[in-house]
Structures are given as structure tokens and as C-alpha cells.
Amino acid sequence: MSKLLVKDKDIAVPGEALAEGMDYLPGNGTYREGDNIHAARLGLVNVDGRAIKIVPLTGRYLPKRGDTIIVKVQEIVMSGWILDTNSAYTAMLNMKDATSEFIQKGSDLTQYFSFGDYIICKIVNVTTQMLIDVTTKGPGLRKLRGGRVIKVNTNKVPRIIGKKGSMVSMIKQATGSRIIVGQNGVIWLEGEDPKMELLAVETINKIAEESHIAGLTDRIKEFLEQQTGKQIELRTEEGEPNDVQ
């Protein structure tokens, strides 16, 4: 007889037994030993029918194909740019993936992207050896000018974006800031005035800190309404780079 040893949404510690018996299936972040399923990392237990998985709460970004990330130019080489991805690995932006313009051999690549520039780009491919290729060809993908860049825990990014971008659009609406969230936990923002920009930063940090506590959206809405004195209506947005999840 199979038995679940933990509740859904519990915090599991590495090695902790989650379920007994073969009726449950081990998902991401878990492993089976004998008849039991154990947690393989720290995180929230998620029981979906018969499958048990662990939703990570901590840890650094692990690059995945299709992610839209914000990167910083670290180095310029013969064939393109080497980028800092806020993970253990650097990414490569090839000239042909950077622009549709013709680039003369041996020309100065800093005129496109220079050292220290932030770029919003999309991961095209990740090899098993973690060689990462990115592209800036696509809607919304470009160099980010002005504004400020902050870093948050990558595991909180889905909370910051919200369902169909509802959370981030709420912050944008309340503070009048432009915000772009990268899957790698790098966030770019630019407010119409410094005060509102700071409020947006504060709100994002608040979300990252309290994301595991229920009723997040309502709490953040209340916080923003109190801070700005404006009434906020919830809405989702489409067509922005943030929706590319």
C-alpha cells in the first residue's frame, strides 16, 4: 500500500523520504531508492496526481533552451560576443545571430554591442557541455540602454512575472516604470522618475522575499496602492518579451 509521507507544498530537505510504495512516480528533484521516493534537493513538494516533484526555492540559474535572459558583454572575439549570463557558464552571441546587417570582416564589433552593455537575448541552444548560443534576432530582443539592472533569485522569476505577466504589469502600471525580467534573474528597469524606479525595485525585492507565502498578489497590490495612492486594476499583457517564458 502506497503512502504519501509529506503534504503538498511542504518544504523538503535533501534525502527526506517523500512517499512509500510504487504507486507514486519520482519527478524532477526527486529520486527513488528501493520502494521509497526521496527529495534530491531543497524545495517545495509538489504532488500532481501520482507524480511527486520538488520545486526549487534556491540555487543559481541553469541555462535552458528558449529562455529569454538579460546578459552583459564580457568579451569580444573574432566571431562575436561572449556574454555573462549570471550562471556558471558564459554564452556566445555569434555575429550572424546578432544582426541582419552585413558586418565587414575585421570591423569593430563594439559599435553593435560594447563591453559592459546589457542585452536582452534568447537562448537558441545549450549543449551537454554547457556551451550556450544566444540570438538577438526576434521581437523585443535588443541592447538595453539607460535604466538600471538588479539581480534576484532566479527561482523567483515566475512569481515576479506572475500569471501571464500580471504581476510585472501591475508594477509597471503602478510605478510607470519600464521593466524587463530575464529568466536568469537579471531585471532591467527604468522609471519615469527616480522615486518610482526605487519603488519598483523595492516591490520586486518584496515579491522575491515573500513569494512562498500565500496571497502574494493581493499583498503586493495593497502595498503598491498604499505607496502610490493609486487604484490598481489587475490585467495581463501580451506581446512583451516578458511573456516569453
Partner 1 sequence: MTYNKRLDGRKLDETRPIEAKVGIIERADGSAIFKIGQTIAYAAVYGPRNLYPKFMQDPQKGILRVNYNMMPFSGHGERVRPGGSRRAKEISMVTEKALLPVIDLSDFPNAVVDVFIELPQTDAGTRCAGICAAAMALADAGIMMKDLVSAVAVGCIDGTVIADLNYDEEAFEGKVADIPVAILPNSGEISLLQMDGEVSQENIKDAIELAKKVTKNIYEIQKQALKDKFKVGE
In the complex with partner 1, the residue whose CB is nearer, 59 or 66, is 59
Q: Output 41 or 122, the one with its CB closest to partner 1.
A: 41
Least distance from partner 1 to the Cβ atom of residue 218, Å = 15
The CB-of-57 to partner 1 minimum distance in angstroms stands at 6
Contacts of 239 (CB under 8 A, 6+ apart): 139
In Å, the largest CA–CA distance within the chain is: 69
Interacting residues with partner 1 (CB under 8 A): 11, 13-17, 29, 31, 33, 38, 40-43, 56-60, 62, 87-90, 128-130, 155, 210, 212-214
Round to the nearest angstrom and report the end-to-end CA distance of the chain.
39
Rounded CA gap, 131 and 85, in Å? 12
The minimum distance between CB 108 and partner 1, in angstroms, equals: 27
For residues 82 and 103, which CB has a smaller minimum distance to partner 1 in the complex? Answer: 82
- Cβ 96 to partner 1, closest distance in Å? 26
- Residue closer to partner 1 by CB (options 142, 219) is 219
Judging by DSSP bridges, how do beta strands 51-56 and 25-26 pair with one another?
parallel
| 3-class SS of residue 90 | strand
Residue bearing cell 548560443: 133
Cell of 159: 512569481
Q: How far is the CB of 231 from partner 1 (least distance, A)?
A: 27
- Which is nearer to partner 1, 18 or 144 (by Cβ)? 18
Please tell me the total number of residues recorded for the chain in this structure.
Answer: 245
Helix, strand or coil for residue 223?
Answer: helix
